[in-house]
Structure 1
Amino acid sequence: MTSQRHPVNPLELASFGPVIPVIVVDRVEDAVPMAKALVAGGVRVLEVTLRTAAGLPAIAAIAREVPDAIVGAGTVRGGADVHAAHEAGARFIVSPGYTKAVGDACKSLGVALLPGVSTGSEIMMAADDGFTFLKLFPATAVGGIPLLKAFSGPFADIAFCPTGGVTVETAPQFLALPNVKVVGGSWLTPADAMKSGDWARITELAKQASAIR
């Protein structure tokens, strides 16, 4: 099913709150109650990864049944993934790295892309193709806050969403940097809460994330 909702501008993703949850769905039936729990806690932008077989059908279910959610696909690694995610209803794409094939596929479909980078060369390649809001990944492993501070000099026109190792405790430190617009985090949907269907806990974690400044 192709989503009939309008695509989002990449930087618009940062306007809905300080944290974009990075979500792994193992059971399709968990997708809708999980998404509703996050939205109830004030988190509307949801990155559902394609790391499991449930990823694409979960995106489709959320796009169809949770209209207040802005659902996107993460762990997108090629053009075929882009097309499949868009067909499922994803309104934005997040990739762990950057390739021209992924960039071109997103451009051809008019879907927002938040491409992953970890080096100056990757930033330059993405920027050459018109992408200036990028995901630093895996953020803490590649240098975290010191690296982002270093990037602010030569890449003053680039904004980042650091993802990978960011926690509720460190998120405010990342968000305090002028070149960070939003952070990605997996702590909002912990595996044990997903497995047990503890949606109230996920709502509380979403409320906590929404309050980060």
Structure 2
Amino acid sequence: MKNNTAYIRELAALAPIIPVLVVEDVAHAVPLAEALVRGGLPVLEVTLRTPAALGVIAAMATVAGARVGAGTLVTIADVEAAKAAGATFGVTPGSPVALVDACLAAGLPLLPGAATATEAMTLQARGFEVLKFFPAEGAGGIKTLKGLGGPLPGLSFCPTGGVTPENARDYLALSNVVCAGGSWIAPSNLVKAGKWDEIEERARHAAALPR
């Protein structure tokens, strides 16, 4: 699992925030990815929540500097489709054994989801060292991550779910947080309206967050 961990750590080091993207129109994919890359956020998580998502991944994968992954992987079919579309990593909300096995079999680097110590320890035993902490605020947020840091010093987290411009700094200040996922950088209303300059500016502010 060293290669998986090395790749995910490499992605996490590129920017403090990974934009979590819900895109309904493939025509928006390239200008959106270009705006985010220009703003300093090259790692993009495209959620498989719309019929256009796989086409969006394929289009974004053509953008220079973009590192495109698929989020909301929940089935084995999702894993296979995301890899075929050009996703270079996957993100799951939770980590059932069959889903993790499918990602490993497909050679898709994985940021697996965990919300409890048991889930985190189970993934650690399988060789994963960087986990998605989801849903971050719902699972106890900063207090829970601080609590996990003591007994599980070998794990790092990417909290996602309820991370906002107001609390992102506090999450990123934790020693066991390597980056965070956020949907505020490119909300659907700005994407639908083609507000690429505004999205780029939001990305620029997020990229400048200290950690």
TM-score calculated relative to the size of structure 1: 0.94
Which 4+ residue blocks in structure 1 deviate beyond 6 angstroms? none
1:110 shift after superposition: 2.0
Q: Is the 8 A contact 1:103 1:129 kept in 2?
A: no
1:121 shift after superposition: 1.3
Task: Measure, in 1, the Cα distance between the counterparts of 2:76 and 2:195.
Answer: 35
Task: Measure, in 1, the Cα distance between the counterparts of 2:166 and 2:7.
Answer: 28
Query: Match of 2:54?
Result: 56
Please list, as runs of the form range in 1=range in 2, the aligned pairs for 1:169-180 lying within 5 A after superposition: 169-180=166-177
Match of 2:17 among 6, 19, 44: 19
Identity of aligned pairs, percent? 52
1:207 matched to 2:204? The reply is yes
1:97 matched to 2:94? The reply is yes
Deviations 1:61-113 (A, max 9, x none): 111x2021000000001221111100000000000000122221222222210
Task: Measure, in 2, the Cα distance between the counterparts of 1:45 and 1:29.
Answer: 19
Query: Match of 2:39?
Result: 41
Deviations 1:150-203 (A, max 9, x none): 001111111000000001121111011000000000001012111111000000
1:126 shift after superposition: 1.2
Query: Match of 1:68?
Result: 65
1:106 matched to 2:103? The reply is yes
Letter in 2 for 1:53: P
Question: Structure 1: any 5+ residue segments left out of the alignment?
Answer: 1-7
Task: Measure, in 1, the Cα distance between the counterparts of 2:181 and 2:81.
Answer: 23
1:162 matched to 2:164? The reply is no
Letter in 2 for 1:208: H
Letter in 2 for 1:40: R
Task: Measure, in 2, the Cα distance between the counterparts of 1:79 and 1:195.
Answer: 30
Query: Match of 2:138?
Result: 141
User: What is the root-mean-square deviation of aligned Cα atoms in Å?
Assistant: 1.0
Q: Is the 8 A contact 1:95 1:116 kept in 2?
A: yes
Letter in 2 for 1:49: T
Secondary structure, aligned partner of 1:200: helix
1:28 matched to 2:26? The reply is yes
TM-score calculated relative to the size of structure 2: 0.95
Letter in 2 for 1:17: A
Task: Measure, in 1, the Cα distance between the counterparts of 2:32 and 2:113.
Answer: 25
Task: Measure, in 1, the Cα distance between the counterparts of 2:64 and 2:127.
Answer: 30
Secondary structure, aligned partner of 1:72: strand
Secondary structure, aligned partner of 1:9: helix
Query: Match of 2:149?
Result: 152
